[in-house]
Structure 1
Amino acid sequence: MDRPEVRDLVYFVAVAEHRHFGRAAEKLGIAQPPLSRAISRLERRMGVRLFERTSRRVDLTPAGEVFLRESSRVLDALDGAVSRTQRAARPRRLILAAPAGTDVGLLAEVLAAYRREAQAVHVEVLFTTEQGAAVRAGNADAAFMCSSDDLDALDSADLLDETPVALLPAAHPLAARTALTLPDLEADARYRAQPPPVGHDELLDRVALGELVVLTGASAARRLGASVVAVPVQGVPANRIVLAWPHNSRSDALAGFVATARAVAGAVRAG
């Protein structure tokens, strides 16, 4: 079978997202008949039906669901490759994605140590709640993340383990405890095992207002106000801070930054 072209994937994803040939054609800026013919030709070449078509609706077949996931990954990887190639033509620098609003203690130590290296390049920090997506899209060269985050298509280095803590409103009945367990937290309807994808300041505001009880890493406790309390949680594995970067990256500047981050984290653990 001939390999599908990038245009085939773009056409397929547009129809899959809109579930309508007319709307997909409008988004793509082409007429509907050529789009319909292109999808039919793709199905014939692959030997599988990707869509179930009716007079009212277009739905993905099970094979189409799989092809949508794989096509999206290919297109995302292509976009990332273009972005990284374009950046390679610019003056040397690294873009580092970091969680928005969280404690920057380790990040600051790593940056300070890296800047002292003879071969260091300029580092820009991109604060975002979607660090992994920024790296995969080519908008960042590396990212500080948690081991529980989506590390698909990324290589990573373990840095530090964080003690799990629960963030509670100061007036919460459990706020005065010296330690908690998961059953303690799960009894509260406001409890969430994973923080919502918001910045640290908004997260603390939601906890302080009594909307949320959440499990997070101990570094988050360094920026609490009087309205939020952090209580250690027993029986929960430590969350690991990792540095992640594109799989099989060959950037010398990135390799130097990773080595520095590992050295700094090792010194922190030893100290």
Structure 2
Amino acid sequence: MNELEVRELRYFIAVAEELNFSRAAQRLQMAQPPLSKAIALMESRLGVRLLERTTRQVRLTAAGRVLLDQARLAVDAVHAAARRTRRAGQPAPRLVVAVKPGGDAGLLREVLAAYLGTDPHLPPPEVVVGGSGEPVAMLRDGRADVALLRSPFDGQGLDAQTLVVEPRLAVLPAAHRLAARRRLRPADLAGEPVPRWQGADPANAAYYAGRDGAGDGAGAGDGHPNPNPAPAPAPAPDEAPEGPLVASVEQFLEVVALGQAVGFLARSTTERHQRPDIAYRPVTGLSPSTVVVAWPEASRSAAVAAFVRAAHDVAARHPGHLTALAL
């Protein structure tokens, strides 16, 4: 039999992420010899090499990269099944909604009110506010039932419906030489330091730096976002010097106000963060910000369906958001 066990998948994920058997064994709190033997047995049963090993390094093969992607999904699915089963058996089930600060384009309160008005028998919503990347992780591992997300994000295993498409604005110090302009182009900002967002993968890093190309953050034309835009080629060092590392909008704004970097924020976010030492300016050709409601594609929850309908209905009453690209 070639079926893999969850335990083996966890072993492989640790080795593939660490690319070092000693560190992976420490992470798994086990000895290295049985870990090496388990990986060798996996390769034997699958009939393919997963790792290229030398005395100096460990590298994933093409087959190993595929297994890493699929193993992460499988382990997440097992955790999610257990969590959702336990939650479904609770005397008072709840609908857990995940969102990060500013990730709802100002719609969440209305959506919650609309959801509560649909059916008094639906479970009450519980909103969990997480950091960057957390809402997606919560959907995958079963801690959340539905989420409001901004693209780009890894949409594998998720269904999503676009709610809001809004422009992003350049964020500049009020005294910046470009702050006197009414409208900018991406080329105007070439050579300006751009902050590095904590935990951002290459697609998100390109998006935050305005290097993902116009339109990559918009819907794909079928009501679903394009969560995995092709990352733009990395610019030359003199085109986008690295700015400070930031982990929140508030930290980002402080960095900009101090003249250490410039960047971009969605229009609804800028409206909530008006400051005399910050200037916001439209940028022609910059990709927009897309807000979606997302849920696990295998979900059959009536509560999730009701929340998605409520989110769609609320967004439909805000046509200004959906036509914001004409700004």
Under TM normalisation by the shorter chain, which class is it? 0.7 to 0.9
Selected match of 1:194 from 185, 197, 208: 208
For the 8 Å contact 1:193–1:214, the answer to whether it is kept is no
Give the TM-score normalised by structure 2.
Answer: 0.74
Deviation for aligned residue 1:64:
2.2
For the 8 Å contact 1:103–1:219, the answer to whether it is kept is no
In the aligned structure 1, how far is the partner of 2:318 from the partner of 2:47?
56
Aligned partner of 2:281 in structure 1 is 231
Aligned partner of 1:108 in structure 2 is 109
Helix, strand or coil: the match of 1:87? helix
For the 8 Å contact 2:22–2:32, the answer to whether it is kept is yes
Aligned partner of 1:214 in structure 2 is 263
In the aligned structure 2, how far is the partner of 1:21 from the partner of 1:100?
38
In the aligned structure 1, how far is the partner of 2:287 from the partner of 2:96?
30
Deviation for aligned residue 1:270:
7.3
Gaps of 5+ in 2: 196-205, 210-244, 322-327
Deviation for aligned residue 1:144:
1.2
Change (3 A) 1:86 1:237: same
Identical-pair percentage: 42
Aligned partner of 2:314 in structure 1 is 264
More helix by share: 1
Query: Cα RMSD between the aligned structures?
Result: 2.6
Aligned partner of 1:126 in structure 2 is 128
Listed as ranges, the matches of 1:4-153 within 5 Å are 4-55=4-55, 57-90=57-90, 91-101=92-102, 105-119=106-120, 120-128=122-130, 129-130=132-133, 131-153=135-157
Deviation for aligned residue 1:266:
0.5
Counterpart amino acid of residue 127 in structure 2: V
In the aligned structure 2, how far is the partner of 1:217 from the partner of 1:14?
36
For the 8 Å contact 1:166–1:215, the answer to whether it is kept is yes
In the aligned structure 2, how far is the partner of 1:72 from the partner of 1:207?
37
Helix, strand or coil: the match of 1:178? coil
Question: 14-23 vs 250-259, which deviates more?
Answer: 14-23
Query: What CA deviation, in whole Å up to 9, does each residue of 1:40-81 have, x standing for no partner?
Result: 221111111223334555443333233222222221222222
Query: What CA deviation, in whole Å up to 9, does each residue of 1:19-41 have, x standing for no partner?
Result: 44444344434444433332222
Gaps of 5+ in 1: none
Change (3 A) 1:182 1:65: same
Query: What CA deviation, in whole Å up to 9, does each residue of 1:221-267 have, x standing for no partner?
Result: 11222221211112234322111111131110110011011001101
Counterpart amino acid of residue 178 in structure 1: R
Change (3 A) 1:188 1:14: closer
In the aligned structure 2, how far is the partner of 1:174 from the partner of 1:76?
46
More strand by share: 1
In the aligned structure 2, how far is the partner of 1:15 from the partner of 1:21?
6
For the 8 Å contact 2:165–2:291, the answer to whether it is kept is yes
Change (3 A) 1:66 1:172: same
For the 8 Å contact 1:135–1:141, the answer to whether it is kept is yes
Deviation for aligned residue 1:106:
1.1
Helix, strand or coil: the match of 1:234? coil
Count of residues paired in the alignment:
271
Query: What CA deviation, in whole Å up to 9, does each residue of 1:160-194 have, x standing for no partner?
Result: 21122111111111112221111112342337741
